């Protein structure tokens, strides 16, 4: 996947492999004495006609039914486990499992995840809840057979039995035993014209004894690592079995060796062909026998994860956490809009069916576009894609796929919002446009200029959260003479900011303005606001005051007089901004935020934000290998622009070409006032062999250098820096946030995209923003990382005071949870409001559509609400997935729009407006039913657990 573009990879390798499986039919068939000639050989690359496809499927089903072929894991891909978000992982898992169940009648029972570069503890939970009971991994760990348990699980309900391969890789060189030289004698692939390090020769009557004894000794040595008497010896590698001849070469030679070993009773060994299922079944049988003799004879229990990964020579695979951040951000953008479109498409189906009994008119069209987008995102979760460890032309192919998916989903959203707002009266032509869009697959998202009409311009916002939402929205408009009215004809107070020229320092663009106001939106609701070009009432509009510091220009040029507009060549006094909740202090000479003050308690915290750079010593796409400690990236005095308003106060620090750093405080609404919003625009195109980080130095006293990082945005795990190891060994992946705390204070840094993170000193946390590397790190890619693009990264900092004694630090817990306040802000960061606009003059769109009967509690999240489809894109029921998230009670829980009340939550109260039938609680991927559910049954979910339901409208 990392060496070939998607379709080329499929036709060149996968199709050959699939046809070889069917035509040769050996995989493990001979353990069942089924002769290969019973299966008809196919000579075409892939079945083309309908009859041939049906014949191909019959053969595959036969292999599966006989146990000759096993499909493991069964997701759309084998996903990366460091940078992938758990919602997207579930989505691609559903996509794969639904396809397997519909087409082959298969539910995967075992996970095969041996190629990701480290393992997250979130994945075994998802595998277990999907119906898998065992997993195989490639982990460097002393306990090679164990039950993997979630850290928050007190009963063992999340246990999944894990088999670990004991050596460095999963190919034949490393799987037969500890001696790689010996193992190379047992790779029998011999293709004319290919180069290979194999030392194998054909097994004959003359050499079978010596060869079998060599292999036997390796098996015996390998068995010493394991608790049970059965060992697993995979025979394969990447890009293998794409030629029919290899199946014969491997099988015929191994069969001779197996027969000889089995004929030696004094060796006390029995070798047979088998699938992963057969291996785990043998282990399970022995476990049960041991349990019968000794009830305490259980495999060890492990909790936690396996990061960072190191293969040899103290080389740490921690660079890929931050490689190609442009693409990581792009995938998260697609995830959030796809999640929203799934919700709207489901609601559109339900509303249409309730209204006229017909819901299939547009459903299949929208479902097809969403399916394509879901599969594009699923493909990008592959452990050689989102990791950034593919060749540059393959990366470009991924970017084009993601961009097309993004455009298709936006087209779906435009139609759905228009149809739902107009109550189905106006479905064609589609007149809504996205307020933010990308013009190119390698371009950044850009706000579209909205031309405000005298007759009115409608802007519609969709809240994809199941909680109420109050949020300041920002639109780019062509006039400051604007009035904003809600769908109930209420005049909304607004704030007007200038738009600055990106090419000229301290120059305001004429006739383009940023319009800001507070949007108030119900759960799963579309709310429209109308913009009119007219002089606003005196008290409804506020122009921001502007101050520019460290600029060589003489004054700010603008035809609109923004209050207190001023420009200073230099300022020596600290710059202070506040929103009456917190105050931020900046150093005008460095542009750095260095202090945060709680204006309610008067408590001050050190919080110094700086940008540092590592010089590469041997870094590549996979590895992080710095030459020395990081040094400051900038020595120049940056230009600073401060804009103060009634809704927001913003400081923009322009360091020049490489970094533009923006810090924003919100005055309203109150639940956002304690948060510090940060956006970095980074372009390191001119920084060769450099790796840039954003570093936060605080006065938080984590004296043991412990802190918490999230795992796939699902949970937080404790980390502790080891000063005896190099910098790169102390880097960890984050997907949504990092927590630094002492007994009295906590800093939570939330992120909208994945990064690598480290805590290298007391009170310090740093995130890697981007990296450009000229050299290859010799881990299979064959090139450096030089396709640098301007990249946006978004963060939110929360400084919170611990009010109770049960904090994560004082209890020395191995895991933690966010506060309710941080949880709410994180939701807004992960699932931003989506906005669309139209200049069509009609009042038909001026309304609110709220389809969820009641909000869910604060700690409950609807992570998926989507319509399933058959292979022919017909409606196949609706899935509703609920996640009850843990939260830390050590912090105040006020100013929330949602409730923590334990009121009864039922399908009847949640979706009162619709008639539901055939409600079942199911496995995570909806392939098996657990129990029927009545509309009046209370939905009860334990903390941290995910519950999945299936029903029909």
SS3 348: helix
What span, in angstroms and rounded, lies between the C-alpha atoms of 936 and 601? 46
Among left, alpha and beta (phi > 0; psi -120 to 50; other), residue 104 is alpha
- The position carrying tokens 């191909």 is 56
H or E stretch covering 100: helix 86-104
CA–CA dist 604, 45 (Å, integer):
69
Q: How far apart are CA 743 and CA 682, in angstroms?
A: 35
Secondary structure element (H or E) that encloses residue 326, with its range? helix 325-356
d(CA 15, CA 106): 20
Question: Do the Cβ atoms of 358 and 352 come closer than 8 Å?
Answer: yes
The angle subtended at Cα 28 by Cα 24 and Cα 31, nearest 5°, is 120
User: Of the residues 51, 55, 80, 115, which is catalytic?
Assistant: 115
Query: Which helix (H) or strand (E) covers residue 909, if one does?
Result: helix 907-910
3-state SS, residue 16: helix
Answer yes or no: are the C-beta atoms of 834 and 406 closer than 8 Å: no
67 — alpha (psi -120 to 50), left (phi > 0) or beta? left
In whole angstroms, give the CA distance from residue 388 to residue 906. 43
Cis preceding linkage at 669, omega within 30: yes
Q: Specify the pairing of strand 446-447 against strand 449-450.
A: unpaired
The residue to which tokens 């996205």 are assigned: 434
Burial 869-882 (b: 16+ CB within 10 A, else e): beeebebbbbbbbb
Whether 115 is catalytic is: yes
Q: How many CB atoms lie within 10 A of CB 50?
A: 8
DSSP string, 480-540: S-EEEE-TTSPEEPEEEEEEE-SSSTTBEEEEEEEEEEEEEE-TTEEEEEEEEESPPPTTT
| Under 8 Å between Cβ of 770 and 753 | no
Give SS3 for 604. Answer: strand
Q: Beta-carbon neighbour count of residue 273 at 10 Å? A: 18
- Number of neighbouring beta carbons within 10 Å of residue 363: 21
Q: Is 905 helix (H, G, I), strand (E, B) or coil?
A: coil
For residue 89, CA distances in Å to 10, 96, 307, 395 come to 21, 11, 18, 20
Tokens 């890009």: give the residue: 239
Q: Do the beta carbons of residue 742 and residue 762 sit within 8 Å?
A: no
Give the pair of three-digit tokens for residue 8.
């080329």
CB contact at 8 A, 729 and 318: yes
For the chain, the helix, strand and coil percentages under 3-state DSSP, each to the nearest 5: 25, 30, 45
C-alpha triplet 719, 724, 729: angle, nearest 5°: 55
Closest CA to 73 of 17, 33, 111: 111
What 3-state DSSP class applies to 746? Answer: strand
CA angle 15, 20, 22 (to 5 degrees): 100
Active site residues: 115
């Amino acid at each position: 996947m990392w060496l070939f573009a998607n379709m080329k990879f499929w036709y060149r390798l996968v199709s050959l492999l699939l046809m070889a499986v069917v035509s040769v039919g050996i995989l493990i068939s001979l353990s069942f004495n089924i002769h290969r000639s019973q299966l008809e050989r196919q000579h075409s690359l892939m079945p083309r006609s309908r009859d041939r496809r049906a014949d191909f499927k019959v053969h595959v089903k036969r292999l599966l039914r006989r146990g000759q072929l096993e499909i493991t894991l069964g997701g759309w891909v084998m996903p990366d486990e460091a940078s992938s978000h758990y919602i997207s992982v579930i989505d691609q898992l559903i996509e794969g499992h639904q396809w397997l169940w519909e087409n082959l009648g298969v539910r995967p029972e075992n996970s095969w995840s041996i190629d990701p570069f480290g393992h997250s503890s979130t994945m075994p939970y998802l595998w277990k809840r999907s119906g898998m009971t065992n997993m195989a991994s490639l982990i460097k760990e002393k306990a090679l057979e164990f039950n993997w348990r979630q850290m928050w699980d007190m009963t063992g309900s999340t246990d999944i039995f894990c088999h670990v391969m004991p050596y460095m890789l999963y190919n034949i060189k490393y799987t037969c035993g500890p001696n790689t030289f010996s193992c190379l004698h047992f790779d029998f692939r011999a293709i004319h014209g290919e180069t290979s390090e194999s030392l194998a020769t054909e097994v004959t009557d003359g050499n079978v004894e010596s060869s079998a004894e060599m292999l036997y000794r390796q098996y015996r040595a390998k068995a010493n690592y394991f608790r049970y008497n059965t060992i697993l010896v995979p025979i394969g590698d990447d890009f293998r079995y794409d030629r029919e001849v290899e199946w014969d070469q491997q099988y015929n030679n191994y069969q001779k060796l197996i027969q000889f070993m089995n004929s030696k009773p004094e060796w006390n060994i029995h070798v047979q062909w088998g699938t992963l299922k057969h291996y785990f079944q043998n282990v399970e049988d022995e476990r049960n026998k041991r349990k019968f003799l000794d009830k305490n004879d259980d495999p060890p229990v492990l909790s936690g994860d396996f990061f960072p990964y190191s293969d040899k020579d103290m080389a740490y695979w921690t660079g890929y956490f931050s490689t190609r951040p442009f693409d990581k951000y792009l995938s998260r953008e697609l995830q959030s809009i796809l999640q929203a479109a799934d919700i709207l498409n489901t609601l559109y189906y339900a509303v249409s069916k309730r209204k006229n009994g017909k819901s299939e008119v547009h459903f299949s069209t929208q479902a097809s576009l969403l399916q394509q987008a879901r599969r594009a995102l699923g493909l990008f979760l592959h452990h050689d894609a989102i990791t950034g460890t593919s060749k540059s032309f393959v990366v470009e192919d991924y970017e084009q796929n993601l961009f097309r998916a993004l455009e298709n989903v936006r087209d779906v959203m435009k139609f759905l919002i228009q149809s739902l707002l107009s109550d189905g009266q106006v479905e064609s032509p589609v007149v809504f446009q996205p307020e933010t869009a990308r013009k190119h697959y390698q371009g950044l998202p850009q706000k579209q200029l909205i031309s405000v009409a005298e007759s009115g311009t409608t802007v519609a916002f969709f809240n994809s959260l199941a909680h109420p939402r109050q949020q300041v929205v920002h639109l780019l408009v062509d006039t400051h003479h604007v009035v904003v009215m809600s769908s109930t004809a209420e005049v909304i107070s607004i704030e007007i900011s200038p738009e600055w020229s990106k090419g000229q320092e301290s120059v305001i663009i004429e006739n383009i303005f940023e319009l800001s106001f507070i949007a108030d939106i119900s759960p799963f609701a579309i709310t429209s606001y109308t913009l009119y070009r007219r002089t606003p009432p005196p008290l409804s509009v506020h122009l921001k005051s502007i101050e520019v510091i460290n600029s060589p220009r003489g004054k700010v040029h603008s035809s609109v007089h923004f209050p207190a507009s001023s420009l200073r060549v230099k300022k020596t006094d600290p710059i202070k901004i506040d929103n009456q909740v917190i105050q931020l202090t900046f150093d005008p000479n460095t542009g750095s935020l260095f202090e945060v003050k709680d204006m309610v308690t008067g408590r001050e915290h050190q919080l110094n934000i700086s940008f540092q750079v590592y010089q590469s010593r041997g870094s590549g796409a996979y590895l992080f290998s710095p030459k020395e400690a990081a040094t400051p990236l900038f020595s120049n005095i940056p230009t600073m622009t401060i804009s103060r308003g009634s809704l927001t106060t913003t400081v923009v620090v322009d360091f020049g070409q490489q970094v533009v750093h923006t810090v924003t405080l919100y005055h309203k609404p109150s639940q956002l006032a304690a948060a510090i919003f940060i956006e970095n625009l980074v372009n390191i195109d001119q920084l060769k062999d450099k790796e840039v980080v954003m570093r936060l130095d605080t006065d938080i006293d984590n004296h043991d250098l412990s802190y918490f990082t999230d795992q796939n945005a699902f949970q937080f795990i404790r980390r502790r820096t080891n000063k005896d190891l190099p910098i790169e060994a102390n880097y960890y992946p984050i997907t949504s946030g990092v927590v630094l705390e002492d007994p009295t204070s906590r800093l939570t840094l939330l992120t909208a995209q994945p990064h690598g993170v480290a805590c290298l000193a007391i009170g310090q946390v740093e995130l890697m923003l981007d990296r450009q590397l000229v050299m290859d790190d010799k881990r299979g890619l064959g090139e450096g990382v030089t396709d640098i693009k301007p990249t946006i990264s978004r963060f939110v900092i929360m400084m919170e005071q611990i009010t109770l004694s049960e904090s994560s630090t004082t209890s020395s817990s191995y895991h933690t949870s966010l506060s309710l306040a941080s949880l709410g802000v994180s939701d807004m960061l992960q699932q931003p409001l989506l906005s669309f606009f139209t200049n069509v003059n009609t009042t038909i769109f001026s309304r609110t559509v709220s389809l969820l009967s009641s909000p869910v509690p604060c700690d409950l999240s609807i992570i998926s609400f989507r319509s399933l489809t058959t292979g022919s894109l017909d409606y196949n029921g609706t899935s509703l997935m609920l996640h009850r998230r843990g939260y830390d009670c050590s912090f105040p829980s006020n100013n929330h729009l949602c409730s923590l009340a334990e009121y009864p939550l039922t399908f009847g109260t949640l979706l009162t407006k619709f008639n539901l039938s055939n409600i079942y609680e199911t496995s995570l991927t909806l392939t098996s039913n657990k129990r029927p559910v009545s509309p009046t049954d209370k939905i009860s979910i334990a903390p941290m657990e995910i519950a999945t339901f299936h029903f029909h409208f």
